[in-house]
Amino acid sequence: MLSVDHKYVNEIRLATEFAKRRDVNSSVPLQQLRDSLHRAMRLEASTIPPYLVAGWSIQKSEGFQNLEIRDLILGIAREEMLHMMAIMNIIAALGEPPKIATNDIVLCWGEDQLPVGGGVIPMLAPFSETLLTTLFMKIEEPADPVHYVVRENFLVAHQLDHGTIGEFYAALIELIRSFEVDPFLGGARYPQVRLDADPRIGLIGHAPIDDFEVNSSSQAIRLLEWIVGQGEGTPKNPLDGDGLPAHYYRFAEIYKKGRLVAANDDPLGYVYDRVSAPIICDYTKVSQFAPNPKMRDFTEGSVEWRGLKKFNNSYTTMFKNLQEFYSSGNTQFITDSVNSMNTMADVGNRLITGVHPAVCPSFEWLPV
């Protein structure tokens, strides 16, 4: 289970106690709220590159569900992008644009911990069962995951048992509730991303959220609860608002090699069904490459170096366009940001499948 560094949770809880005391400076808990939301934004941003790289590494294989697994992982990455944008909106609604265009939002992959600590070091690597269980499922694992069983030829096998991100978000929600005066009251003082800002955003699953704009504490809390529910699920329901398993259980489907389906004959109500809904990966069709590359690893001007530079330029530009939107309100920057995301996908796939030996996108910040 991902162990969030408790100093970050305790900082939020201390700010909550300050906010409840009406005789102290209210700017202290408000600044802690801003700082913690920026940490949450960086956390969501940090999950996206490892998911994208692993998804792009999975190639088609006849007789296996490789493309289904690829789409599952890339779908989760896209939802994490929505989570990041939702938190950006919450920050903007507090009266200042989020700090996006900074290299602080990018990790040194294979070296830096997640922004919430806990000893988990994300890496950019080919998809594998080890990566799935030691990184992806650990990131998304709730405090008390429900251990659904596997249905395989009428036999049942129980899943082994393995502070969470959910605890970090729960502390944030409690801090928001503690303010005597709603810090979001009156709506955002800065522009916010709308789901209809670009038609391509609307293609990403996001039910039951239909509005990302924040103008009250209740809406900010609703977005944070949606992020946790889509990532971890709840003890009573493993599905998110779109009727899909939460991220943790979607990753568990790959690990268990069967889709999570409703089962009236099982006391928990769901099983991983390998019989009628297998989801098995052919690992011989996963592109292999050195993990956590850096541009400096390649000769300047080489095919690999130029590919990584083009990718990283799009990666950096994506964040800069988002920053420009929150500073100006010009929705063209949202369109430009989505265009950069699509360029990243195109270049990333070509690096992995069109360069020999294959090269992994490095997700580095390029300074101006």
Domain ranges of the chain: 6-354
Q: Provide the token pair at 87.
A: 């938190």
200 DSSP 8-state letter: T
Query: How is 229-276 classified by DSSP, letter by letter?
Result: HHHH--SS--B-TTSSBPHHHHHHHHHHTEEEEE-TTSTTSEEEEEEE
Query: In 58-183, which ranges are continuous DSSP H helix?
Result: 66-93, 129-131, 137-140, 165-178
Q: Provide the token pair at 30.
A: 């408000």
**Residue 67 and residue 103: Cα distance in Å, rounded?**
33
**pLDDT by 10s per residue, the chain, length 368:** 566 888 888 999 999 988 887 655 668 899 999 999 999 999 999 999 999 999 999 999 999 999 999 999 999 999 999 999 999 999 999 998 999 999 999 999 999 999 998 888 999 999 999 999 999 999 998 877 888 888 765 334 333 333 678 889 999 999 999 998 899 987 777 899 998 888 888 778 777 788 889 999 999 999 999 998 888 766 668 888 788 899 999 999 999 999 999 998 889 899 999 999 999 999 999 999 999 999 999 999 999 999 999 999 999 999 999 999 999 999 999 999 999 999 999 999 999 998 889 999 999 999 86
* Strand positions, DSSP E, the chain: 149-152, 155-157, 258-262, 270-278
286 DSSP 8-state letter: B
202 DSSP 8-state letter: G
- Find residue 151's DSSP bridge partners: 156, 273
Q: By C-alpha distance, which of 278, 94, 53, 112 is closest to 176?
A: 94
Q: Is the pTM of this model over 0.75?
A: yes
CATH no. of 6-354: 1.20.1260.10
Q: Provide the token pair at 128.
A: 């594998």
